[in-house]
Structure 1
Amino acid sequence: MQFLQKIISELLENRHDISGLDIVLPGKRPMVFIKRILKEKHYQGLLPNFVTIDELIAELSENVEIKGIALWLFAFRIYNKIDASEDFSGFLKWFPTLQKDWDDMMKFSDDDQKILLWMLDEERIKNWGENLGDDDNPRKRNLNFWRKMNEFLPLLKSELKKENLATSGMLYQDAFSAIENFAKQTNRQFVFCGFNALSRVEEQLVRQLLQWNKAETYFQADQYYIDDERQESGKFLRETLKWKEFNDSRDFKWIENQFSQPKNIKTYEVSGNIVQAKFLPEILKKIPKKELSETALVLLDENLLPAVLDSLNVVESVNITMGFPLKNLSFSNAIKKVFYLQKQQEKKTSSYYYADVLPILEELPNDEKDSEIIRNFIFSIEERNIVYISKTLLQELLGNLSYFQLLQKPENYQTFLDLLIKFCYELKFKELDDIQYENIALFENVFKIIKNQLLPYQIDVKIETLEVLINQLVNSESIDFVGEPLAGFQIMGLLETRLLNFKNIILLSVNEGKLPLGNTQNTYIPFDVRKNFGLNTFLENDSIYAYHFYRLIQNSENVHLLYNALSSGVNTGEKSRFITQLEMESPHHIEHIIIENSSEPIAQELMKIEKNEEVMRLLNEWKNRVSPSHLVTYLYNPIDFYLNNLLKTRETNEIEEELSQRNYGNLVHYALQFLHEPIKGKILSVNDLEDLLQQTDSAIDFAIGKLKHQQEFYERGMNYIHKEIAKRVVRNIVEYDLELVKNGSALEILDLEKEINCDFFLDENQTDKISFYGFIDRIDKLDGVTRVIDYKTAKPKNLTINLGKNKEEKLPELFFRDDYKQALQLSIYKYCIRNVLNINPDNIETAIWSFAEVNNGPQKLNFIDIEDSEVEDSIRNLIFEILNSEVPFEEKEKVSW
């Protein structure tokens, strides 16, 4: 606190009573520290009057400041007199930016009207001699925009003055004309502390008061950046030094020589934003505990605050002097999504998109009753794969939800705001953490403000308009933390460090684009126009940031600068040029440290499960009900077999926005079942099959119902294409059968979805057995041959098996390879059908009918020089391995294609 201590010490040396002083500060935070310094110096008089520069400017104006939604509504009413075609939501998309530009015009230039006229003239010059074409031409739109602004903004100013109201810029403009009289007539004595970049109005106020000896000024400058004309951090103070008010009788206070004093400066190249927060305790461990109250952590990226707080377990006392952005909190995100949902309903849609509803339910605070309703809702829509939820179904599933009305289309915006206010009020009585409570309370207040401000205006407010209003307010709001600013480790933003000095400083996210912000101004006024009229450009803003940075360092002894070196998203991974300047120009040795991500890499070891007594018990149970698909799963990955078939774990249902391959297969299966069931058990005629072709649409509809899907799911996009392809596959299968019958073949469908249960013996004495079960898609008889047909979405693979000379070597482990999985499944079906139906093996064919190659018909399994008994032995060998207690279940490495 050296700078403030010097000021107070000098003031007390020159006068014993400072109660008559007005101490003018850039912000309110330093007031607390000045009071502590006065206490330490045993000052016993009344406190001086503390005032910020903005409060002093407002005092000079006779008008009341209007801002936020009140200003937007007032301005919209005036704008409607010029252009009645634009609605309020459209107006809100450009007016807040224009208003900031307009305020800048009034704060930094002599006459805002000159700039407005200049902008209009500039647009005209750009289009000199050109045919502008229709109104959609961007140049013509710009020209029309500035024509309107030259009429609108003067009219707005006039109307505001009639009501004794003013924007921030108007207050400054009013104050400028009142400065001279104020300086002459006031009896107050002002002390201006720690200012750097003064606007035209602020500079005139300070200089006039100095001329009348009614002010003292204290600047915190350093020879390092004052003497060097190239140093942008001293840009404004070098101009202030030239004031004629600083002469032989009045010194410029103070230019120190602190920056060049010995300092320990370290820069840290860190791999990632969160890693910066994780590394923070390592820095703090090296700072003595007694110095933590002299230590400040400056966050240049406010979004890092949660991660930083999580990492500060080494610090007992922490004071946070910055806000956490409201827009980053879960309740804020939920409210945004509520507005988005309502905006969709305003478009008269007949259903709700599930992804618009689920995030709201998951992010809003819910009690146990609401949580149970939401769990049932999620189960229902996942089970039925409901992507678009009808209003009737939503009422049925969520009607008892305490805040269900928020999901329904309201009668009008007043009703909706009343619902939101009531909802927020009731939520505050539930169990919430402190940040949640503040988040909800802030929204409740915002909704009340919007409601009250809208009441006097007859504006057609749509939900979209409310959404824009909410976003404008919420994006600029933050939750302020309350703490003890005089004790403990300090966490703050860069602007909160003004006038304050710390022995140890740590800055996070010292990246280009964070420090300085760079050319990120949101403005309608081009750079050259801003430069010409003395308005701040990004260059001036860079100089302001540079001053804050160097001023913070100049009185510090230990400086830690961390930056994110990773390039990802909006982060370029580029360190701030201020660091480069320090390294190249400063007299200090800068130690550079590289910090890699300290987290341990995730172990890539494949899972391995030994077959202990419990696993063997589960395997013995499994032997009673073995599906061919279990063996296929084992071939793919033994761990999946263990998890799915022994432990009975199942993947959770997920809503498919696009039909999965599995459900595409089911769609065709169920459609074929619908068609074939009525003709089962008869020799098919041409008429039978031609009649089926007329029923394919009905069959697909039946299949959709069997899947519990909605028809709407298949009405657009890829799902419509999948449905049409499925319909074509069904038709092709029926047409393939029709050709057989037309060519004289006798075709009879014996069974569909035939459940099989058969014993398969593992030993010659038939004492050790397993029981196969499963469902065969289709069993038919074609010209006296019984065909066992399995439908597949995949193409047939390795259905003709010839082991040649290596038969004796390969046959025992034939089915140990997953590329023979189709052959394995068909072999088991053939075994079961032969034993259950007592059919001669020579009259049985097993085949895959692939939907991918449907016109090729059923592709039959063909073993060359391999007997059925040998195939069965190969199946036994696979089962023996599964049951072998010495062979663990080992995960197979997944191959990425």
Structure 2
Amino acid sequence: MRKTFLEYVAEDLLKKYGTDLSRITLVFPNKRASLFLNEHLARMADGPLWSPVYTTISQLFRDRSERVVADNIKLVCDLYRIYVQCTGTTETLDHFYGWGMLMLSDFDDIDKNLADATDVFRNLSNIHELDDVSYLSEEQREVLKRFFSNFSDDYNTELKNRFLQLWQNFGNIYNSFNAHLQEEGLAYEGALYREVVNNDLATYDADTYIFVGFNMLQKVEQKLFTLLAKAGKAKFYWDFDRYYMEGANNEAGYYIRQYLEAFPNELFNRDDEIYNNFRTEKVLRFISASTETIQGRFVGHWLQNEDFVRAGRKTAVVLCDENLLQTVVHSLPSEVENVNITTGFPLAQSPVFSFVNALINLQTIGYTKSAERYRLQYVRAVLRHPYSLFLSDNCTEQLRALEEHHTYYPSRQEMAVDEGLTLIFANLEEGVADVQTYHAKLVDWILSMLKTVGKSTQETDDHLMKEAIYRMYTLFNRLHELIVSGDLSVDLITLLRLITQLVQSTSIPFHGEPAIGLQVMGVLETRNIDFDNVLLLSCNEGNMPKGVNDASFIPYAIRKAHSLTTIDHKVAIYSYYFHRLLQRAQNITILYNNATEDGHTGEMSRFMLQMLVESGHKIERLSLQAGQMPNVLQPHAVEKTDSIMQQLMKLDKLSPTAINRYLRCQLLFFYNTVAGLKESDEETDDIDNRTFGNIFHKGSQLIYEQLMDANFTVSENAIKDFLADKSALLRIVDRTFNEELFKVANANQHPQYNGLQLINRGVIISYLKKLLQMDLSLTPFRILAMEKPVEQEVVFDVDGKAHNLTIGGYVDRLDEVEEGNGKVIRVVDYKTGRKPQTAVAAFEDIFSGDKVTKNHADYYLQTFLYAAIVRDSLKWNKQKLPVSPALLFIQQASAEENDPVLRVGKERISDIAVYHNDFWAHLKALLSEIFNKERAFMPTKDRERCPRCPYRQVCYQ
């Protein structure tokens, strides 16, 4: 079996140093490789073993300094204050945060490359100052001349002025910032590294420092290697392959080729067994896929190979795009018992972040300080969150009460009914003297919430939840320390944005035994570790190599002249990672996304193309396709089975609304009326059309009940007097809001209106005024009924047998007016929407499903039905007066010569008697069709209505 690089290292260490490695320190680029090497040493040793000290290069530097590397929050906050002092800027910390991270990166690069910051930041705005750069080589001076030649013409442009003005301050910012950190005993990583390698008093206690598996070295690392090598304390193990070391054009070996002479390899460079594996026989497959998700799902298929599963830690799933982690984890088959995941789960994708976000919104944008009330939509977000149940068992009950009464602005007193809800709806304003104190109290409040939820989840088996809560608590605890100490002094908006940025950059580590089971890793975690079976996902250009980011305040030419890190050889770093991962692997499958959408280029990595051309390996090219083709879902007819007919025959009453549903779409009628599936009420803070109409109808009813005399007559003076009393209409509208929206019995009290409710309230008031002003022209008139049932029993044929059914509903208004030479009864239906532009051209259109949909002929059917019933009714029409169907569109109520009486074509229907017989004949024929067992319920032909249909998901299954 082929050995891994770390096994060769372990074997060589035991050969040279024996089993007493206690005076040896092994230094790695990262921690993970040390775990594998330790396991190899323990297995290969003949007897007891004195283990070496394991450390990383970062920790080696940190252990030799009394200063501490501060976290990025602290560093950026301190850098911001220095920046403001040096430049006099008025930029907020929120705007500066990204710049600050960029500055820190530049400062870190300067120090890790041991550049002279004074020379780097020297003001070279004038090309003549290049005469005094004797410290530069001729080549470096030429690079700078080419760069600054761009500034010689049109020097006074705004962009150049701003750049040079900022450039002039960088030296002061750098020096002041480092002096400040020195006083506090803090440092950023580059500054600490530089201090250590320049400190002649730094001690290195181990007999030997062995550096294993490094690739690119910063100048500080090279200097440390040199210092220890000259002292006879350093040994080096390099991991490479002759395939990319011998070819000068292959970038993968760019760095190691430079270091081998200065830092000689402990293993024999010409040993083919160790360093000539890339060209050995391999099974290689390149697979294109149309989406990222399908690549993650492919993991389960790939692991159906039992050899891969049995290989355990010799099998790796490597993610070039770590956003695939969730899909990959959920795609692992049950056969995989042990999994080690090295990449972290994004904290921003955990439920605790949505919980914290909801809490912050509740106390900030969700709280009206002047009214001391919360907005329902933010209260709802908190009370619905599952983590709130760890604080109070009354969350669901409280939310239900608010929604039932349409309380859109609950007070703190209304919500704080128990200890948990009192904590949620705490008064953060109390005793707060300034903004900084409020921020500290807000963050402390979040901490208390997280602490309470964390204690309640200790008994659960959800380790991810507990770890996420802990990470969030740690982050907010650090923020609290910085706010209290005065290091973080910002406005509220900046604080909230900063919290979001910090959470998005934080991940939750997975715990496990690295040396056991399938390895799911990011690219960087694969360093020094070899696998037999490798599945590399999302190996696209932009992921492998990572999109080269050359963002910096230091221009490329100046970076190059001062030997700072440039983009020239950044690709070489990822080229090494790619080739080193594959060099000892035997079974390699590489997937890439070939779609050119959602930010993806659709290109395979350049390293894959390089292998196709140069490697000499036979590479199988495949394409990953979904195993299922998407089905275009279409609604299907519902046959009238015996059980459906039984439900249908149980109907003893039909409303005109139900009949119109049938005309619009027979399936809509079936699901709603026959199957009894009621439309869901979408919870919203807005007033929907139905509620708006109910409030208007109720308001008009209450008004006319006041205006009518004992004979049910409404006079001109009654309407004018009512309109003159401005408060009368307001009282009635507020009462209707209480009854129809807020469900409050007390007419004198109601919850506070929100903005949309106030707008709707104003519209309803204006509509009612229009109605009253229009009715002035009709006075005097009698109102026979308002919101009263109008019904009639209808007998029709079902399978040759007579079947009776009650047809009817509630009429909005039934009045008796003077018209021409006599009295007429009008059946008035109020409509608060806009009047259809297309009128009903022929009587038959009323029973046409197509016409019902396109020109609202359903309005006609309902009013015709009520008019026909009233025409024959002894209760409503004892005098056998003409009956006119009328639709009153309130938005057009103030228009001149507005006549609500319906027309068919151009004919005004002064009396429904003209269409009486035809109407009943058509209606009975329609009812016979509805109850005809041989006629299935068919979907509508007008599919444009389907996306808005509440039964779409049921209908399209």
2:389 to 341, 361, 367: 367
* Equivalent position of 1:191 in the other structure: 210
Matching of residue 759 in structure 1 with residue 759 in structure 2: no
Q: Distance in 2 between matches of 1:879 and 1:675?
A: 38
Deviations 1:529-564 (A, max 9, x none): 433333334454332222111111111111111223
SS in 2 for 1:33: helix
Q: Distance in 1 between matches of 2:148 and 2:782?
A: 83
Preserved contact between residue 107 and residue 200 of structure 1 (Cα < 8 Å) = yes
* Equivalent position of 1:238 in the other structure: 257
SS in 2 for 1:117: coil
Q: Distance in 2 between matches of 1:176 and 1:678?
A: 94
Deviations 1:234-263 (A, max 9, x none): 33223324x455599996999823222232
* Equivalent position of 1:100 in the other structure: 105
Q: Distance in 1 between matches of 2:701 and 2:559?
A: 75
Matching of residue 774 in structure 1 with residue 809 in structure 2: yes
SS in 2 for 1:708: helix
Matching of residues 68-467 of structure 1 within 5 Å: 68-72=72-76, 75=79, 92=97, 94-117=99-122, 145-178=166-199, 188-241=207-260, 243-244=261-262, 256-288=275-307, 289-313=309-333, 314-344=335-365, 348=369, 350=371, 351-367=373-389, 370=392, 372-374=394-396, 376-377=398-399, 380-381=402-403, 383=404, 389-392=408-411, 395-397=413-415, 399-400=417-418, 402-411=420-429, 412-431=438-457, 432=460, 433-457=462-486, 460=489, 463-464=492-493, 466-467=495-496
Q: Distance in 2 between matches of 1:195 and 1:291?
A: 27
Preserved contact between residue 374 and residue 398 of structure 1 (Cα < 8 Å) = no
Matching of residue 27 in structure 1 with residue 62 in structure 2: no
Q: Distance in 1 between matches of 2:152 and 2:735?
A: 65
* TM, length-normalised to structure 2: 0.81
Q: Structure 1 residues 798, 589: CA separation in 2 closer, same or farther (over 3 Å shift)? A: same
2:69 to 47, 65, 71: 65
Unaligned stretches of 5+ residues in structure 2:
127-146, 430-437, 743-749, 946-957
Residue 25 of structure 1 and its aligned partner are, at CA, apart by: 0.5
Q: Distance in 2 between matches of 1:598 and 1:641?
A: 37
Matching of residue 15 in structure 1 with residue 10 in structure 2: no
* Equivalent position of 2:655 in the other structure: 627
Preserved contact between residue 780 and residue 787 of structure 1 (Cα < 8 Å) = yes
Matching of residue 832 in structure 1 with residue 869 in structure 2: yes
Residue 770 of structure 1 and its aligned partner are, at CA, apart by: 1.2
* Equivalent position of 2:144 in the other structure: none
Preserved contact between residue 512 and residue 575 of structure 1 (Cα < 8 Å) = yes
* Equivalent position of 2:883 in the other structure: 844
2:630 to 589, 597, 601: 601
Deviations 1:585-634 (A, max 9, x none): 432233222223335535614244443444334323321x3211111112
Deviations 1:306-359 (A, max 9, x none): 221221124222221221121211112221332344342688474544444433
Residue 657 of structure 1 and its aligned partner are, at CA, apart by: 5.7
Preserved contact between residue 704 and residue 711 of structure 1 (Cα < 8 Å) = no
What amino acid is aligned across from residue 294 of structure 2 in structure 1? V
* Equivalent position of 2:747 in the other structure: none
Identity, % of aligned pairs? 26
Residue 189 of structure 1 and its aligned partner are, at CA, apart by: 1.5
Matching of residues 516-555 of structure 1 within 5 Å: 516-520=545-549, 523-555=552-584
Segment of structure 1 superposing worse, 320-329 or 221-230: 221-230
SS in 1 for 2:311: helix
Segment of structure 1 superposing worse, 471-480 or 22-31: 471-480
Q: Structure 1 residues 651, 296: CA separation in 2 closer, same or farther (over 3 Å shift)? A: same
Q: Structure 1 residues 459, 587: CA separation in 2 closer, same or farther (over 3 Å shift)? A: closer
Preserved contact between residue 302 and residue 325 of structure 1 (Cα < 8 Å) = no
* Equivalent position of 1:679 in the other structure: 707
Q: Structure 1 residues 398, 536: CA separation in 2 closer, same or farther (over 3 Å shift)? A: farther
What amino acid is aligned across from residue 666 of structure 2 in structure 1? P
SS in 2 for 1:561: strand
What amino acid is aligned across from residue 423 of structure 2 in structure 1? Q
Preserved contact between residue 385 and residue 655 of structure 1 (Cα < 8 Å) = no
Q: Structure 1 residues 150, 187: CA separation in 2 closer, same or farther (over 3 Å shift)? A: same
Residue 828 of structure 1 and its aligned partner are, at CA, apart by: 1.8
1:785 to 824, 828, 849: 824
2:926 to 875, 878, 893: 878
Q: Distance in 2 between matches of 1:607 and 1:418?
A: 57
Q: Structure 1 residues 658, 565: CA separation in 2 closer, same or farther (over 3 Å shift)? A: farther
Preserved contact between residue 120 and residue 146 of structure 1 (Cα < 8 Å) = no
Preserved contact between residue 338 and residue 407 of structure 1 (Cα < 8 Å) = no
SS in 1 for 2:886: strand
Deviations 1:376-429 (A, max 9, x none): 415633x5666xx4252x642464471553444514344334433332222233
Matching of residues 800-811 of structure 1 within 5 Å: 802=842
Q: Distance in 2 between matches of 1:868 and 1:802?
A: 15
Residue 114 of structure 1 and its aligned partner are, at CA, apart by: 3.0
* Equivalent position of 1:858 in the other structure: 900
Q: Distance in 2 between matches of 1:472 and 1:369?
A: 27
SS in 2 for 1:752: strand
Q: Distance in 2 between matches of 1:523 and 1:378?
A: 54
SS in 2 for 1:332: helix
Preserved contact between residue 634 and residue 640 of structure 1 (Cα < 8 Å) = yes
RMSD between superposed Cα atoms in Å: 3.9
SS in 2 for 1:507: strand
Preserved contact between residue 78 and residue 487 of structure 2 (Cα < 8 Å) = no
Residue 726 of structure 1 and its aligned partner are, at CA, apart by: 5.3
What amino acid is aligned across from residue 346 of structure 2 in structure 1? P
Residue 30 of structure 1 and its aligned partner are, at CA, apart by: 0.8
Preserved contact between residue 356 and residue 446 of structure 2 (Cα < 8 Å) = no
Preserved contact between residue 376 and residue 410 of structure 2 (Cα < 8 Å) = no
SS in 2 for 1:555: coil
1:4 to 6, 24, 33: 6
Matching of residues 453-852 of structure 1 within 5 Å: 453-457=482-486, 460=489, 463-464=492-493, 466-520=495-549, 523-599=552-628, 601-602=630-631, 604-623=633-652, 625-656=653-684, 659-666=687-694, 668-680=696-708, 684-691=714-721, 704-708=737-741, 715=755, 729-739=767-777, 747-762=781-796, 768-783=803-818, 784-792=823-831, 793=833, 795-796=835-836, 802=842, 818-819=852-853, 820-834=857-871, 835=873, 836-838=875-877, 843-851=882-890
Residue 704 of structure 1 and its aligned partner are, at CA, apart by: 4.5
What count of residue pairs does the alignment treat as equivalent?
Answer: 873
Deviations 1:259-306 (A, max 9, x none): 222322222222322222222121111351433431100122323222
Q: Structure 1 residues 410, 182: CA separation in 2 closer, same or farther (over 3 Å shift)? A: closer
Preserved contact between residue 830 and residue 846 of structure 1 (Cα < 8 Å) = yes
Q: Structure 1 residues 220, 391: CA separation in 2 closer, same or farther (over 3 Å shift)? A: same
Q: Distance in 1 between matches of 2:707 and 2:632?
A: 57
Residue 868 of structure 1 and its aligned partner are, at CA, apart by: 1.7
Q: Distance in 1 between matches of 2:37 and 2:376?
A: 56
SS in 2 for 1:178: coil
Q: Distance in 2 between matches of 1:526 and 1:7?
A: 42
